Structure 1
């Protein structure tokens, strides 16, 4: 890495360090730089300081704004493949594309010989080992390892009952637009006064995030005997 500015070099050098001195006062997550912390806190508070000059959209980070403008307005694809005519809005997508030329599969499963070009496909593959089925059909409650398999099931088995509206923030499907509005207000609207988790010190400004967080405490044995090693859930 080389740079014309010492500030850029200093920022780059932090990527080689494990030091994370900037701590979020809301969730205690730590970051390498003040900029990363500021972007993170903006996500907590719902602050979107980066406004698009071509439409009414606003974003938490400058990177999100730049990506939005390329996708929606300028249609610029600055990241170009040196081997073929492929070009991309994002550097990460170009990097993944180049692996289709090189055959590189850097993300390997530690349980079998499978390897992937990207982390998403590896994560999806790992579910086949765990037996986990995180995707549930909202009509018959059948469970699936992959969201694509679940969607095919819904179309084939319950096509006539498929609701029109899907929540943009979670996997909930809702039949009526008015009910979607209620769902968004109740679960996904920003709350100025944060709600504290009843099991730990974490706080949230969105009810859905709190609900999902509480699931991580589901199997905890929080009540311990002070005379022996016995512990129980309730």
Structure 2
């Protein structure tokens, strides 16, 4: 059987296979979407993309029933259920669901922050993080919930919020089975099993599972109490204590 070769990527079993592969090097994208103009290297990629416009989602997850535009996306989604994270960092061993997540993570080891905010000078590793940050200055919240109208600065925050309406909790703890709406909530919860408290106070050494708990704790050293009760003006260093207090008035 005939075999074709690419100098950088090795062997291909068909001439069509190497043709498609070579488009990575040439940048050629001969298949374009008639609706939005986006271009693709393969006709199959164009077909999957067009489903975004038609709303067609022919592939479903056998475990939760969620539907997707392509079989590839289903495979990636199923890693949420299996816990599979096939892409691991050679520097620290941390694993990820997607190769793109690994590439982004690896920049945290180099410490390079090429993107800076013109308004406050804060620097960022990624352009999308800078864009999200800039919304704190402009007040822009382009992602809104179609059920309650609440708006968010990031699409990921909207997705997490929408789970409060659907009740979906796709991230579950392998040790106790408890489920959570976001992966960050699961990570925080898992520290209750491991005893890992990575956030410590530089003044007294007390450690916490969450950075937000450390920030609240540090206010006790500074005497800050930014959360006040609208009914009796009592003030608190932590919003959780205010919520608990407000039950007295209810």
TM-score if structure 2 supplies the norm length?
Answer: 0.49
Q: Which residue in the other structure is 2:162 paired with? A: 69
Q: Which residue in the other structure is 1:78 paired with? A: 170
Q: Which residue in the other structure is 1:18 paired with? A: 111
Partner of residue 201 from structure 2, selected from 105, 109, 121: 109
Q: 1:155 to 1:17 in 2, by over 3 A?
A: same
Gaps of 5+ in 1: 163-234
Q: 1:136 to 1:106 in 2, by over 3 A?
A: same
CA-CA distance at 1:77 after TM superposition? 1.2
Question: Distance between the aligned counterparts of 1:145 and 1:7, measured in 2?
Answer: 39
The number of equivalent residue pairs is 157
CA-CA distance at 1:95 after TM superposition? 1.3
Larger Rg: 2
CA-CA distance at 1:81 after TM superposition? 0.3
Q: Is 2:116 the counterpart of 1:40? A: no
Question: Distance between the aligned counterparts of 2:207 and 2:152, measured in 1?
Answer: 35
- Equivalence map 1:214-229=2 (5 Å): none
Q: Which residue in the other structure is 1:184 paired with? A: none
CA-CA distance at 1:97 after TM superposition? 1.2
CA-CA distance at 1:141 after TM superposition? 5.7
TM-score if structure 1 supplies the norm length?
Answer: 0.52
Q: Which residue in the other structure is 1:128 paired with? A: 220
Q: 1:10 to 1:127 in 2, by over 3 A?
A: closer
- Equivalence map 1:38-187=2 (5 Å): 38-52=131-145, 56-73=149-166, 75-112=167-204, 114-136=206-228, 144-147=236-239, 159=249
Higher relative contact order (CA 8 A, sep 6+): 1
For the aligned residue pairs, the C-alpha RMSD in angstroms reads: 3.6
Question: Distance between the aligned counterparts of 1:151 and 1:58, measured in 2?
Answer: 22
